[in-house]
């Protein structure tokens, strides 16, 4: 019995380490910092991987409010980043032209008032017989242009809000695979030689 036990121990001691495969090779003088995931985390990862894709939804009220507070912010909320410089450029140009026209209006207005009161002004050296009438027309013209630019800038501001609201409201429709608007070729059913370009509307239900 003792002889059999010693023989089995000897056979076990002769096992070659090269016959085994090591799956991990951790240094003996260090401690692994990687912590194994718990069962809850593993289940959560599996559920997240198998969960159906959810399209992001945007709130039209929030988008409109953001654009009202700061033009372009609603476009940022809708993830339409390319529209932000367009909005800023349009509103900036409108504000700049409004300021320029207002400065010209004040310039001609001050000269007109000075001409009426007989006070020298920057246009006094111009050899114009009806200078008062010319300055009066110019100030009216600059005032009208200024008002046009104010109205145009206000319209751009409103369109910025409308664009953000409509964009967020129609987001699902634009990304719906069952709803498609694509360019198409329109064939004349009576004359097959004549074709025209058009827009095709497809809706699957």
Flag whether 13 is in a domain: no
For 12, counting Cβ atoms within 10 Å of its Cβ (0-12 exposed, 13-18 middle, 19+ buried), the class is: exposed
* Amino acid 89: pLDDT: 94
* 61 contacts: CB under 8 Å, gap ≥ 6: 165
With contact defined as beta carbons under 8 Å apart, do 149 and 91 qualify? no
* 81 contacts: CB under 8 Å, gap ≥ 6: 75
pTM score, two decimals?
0.56
Which letter does DSSP use for residue 188 in this model? P
* Amino acid 10: pLDDT: 47
φ, ψ dihedrals at 180, nearest 5° = -140, 140
Flag whether 80 is in a domain: yes
Flag whether 71 is in a domain: yes
* Amino acid 38: pLDDT: 73
* Amino acid 12: pLDDT: 45
Flag whether 65 is in a domain: yes
Flag whether 1 is in a domain: no
The torsion angle over the Cα atoms of residues 118, 121, 125 and 127, rounded to 10 degrees, is -60
Return the HEC string of 20-58: CCCCCCCCCCCCCCCCCCCHHHHHHHHHHHHCCCCCCCC
> Encoding tokens for residue 3?
């002889």
Flag whether 133 is in a domain: yes
3-state secondary structure of 183: strand
Flag whether 48 is in a domain: no
* Amino acid 1: pLDDT: 46
**Number of domains within the chain:** 1
Return averaged pLDDT per consecutive 10 residues of the chain, 205 residues in all: 46 49 54 66 71 66 91 90 92 95 93 85 79 88 94 94 87 51 60 59 54
Flag whether 139 is in a domain: yes
* 189 contacts: CB under 8 Å, gap ≥ 6: none
Q: Which domain holds residue 104?
A: 60-176
> Encoding tokens for residue 17?
């380490």
Distance of CA 98 to the CA centre of its chain: 27
Tally of CA atoms within 13 A in the half-sphere of 5 that contains its CB: 2
């Amino acid at each position: 019995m003792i002889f059999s036990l010693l023989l089995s121990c000897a056979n076990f001691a002769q096992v070659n380490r090269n016959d085994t495969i090591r799956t991990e090779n951790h240094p003996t003088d260090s401690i692994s910092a990687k912590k194994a995931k718990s069962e809850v985390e593993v289940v959560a990862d599996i559920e997240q991987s198998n969960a159906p894709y959810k399209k992001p939804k945007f709130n039209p009220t929030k988008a409109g409010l953001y654009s009202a507070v700061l033009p372009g912010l609603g476009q940022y909320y809708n993830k339409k980043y390319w529209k932000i410089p367009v909005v800023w450029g349009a509103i900036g140009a409108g504000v700049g032209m409004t300021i320029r026209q207002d400065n010209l209006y004040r310039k001609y207005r001050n000269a007109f008032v000075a001409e009426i009161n007989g006070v020298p002004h920057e246009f006094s050296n111009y050899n114009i017989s009806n200078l008062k009438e010319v300055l009066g027309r110019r100030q009216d013209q600059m005032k009208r242009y200024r008002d046009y630019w104010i109205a145009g800038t206000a319209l751009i501001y409103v369109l910025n809000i409308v664009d953000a609201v409509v964009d967020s409201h129609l987001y699902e429709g634009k990304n719906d695979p069952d709803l498609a608007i694509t360019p198409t070729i329109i064939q004349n059913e009576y004359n097959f030689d004549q074709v025209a370009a058009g827009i095709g509307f497809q809706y699957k239900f």
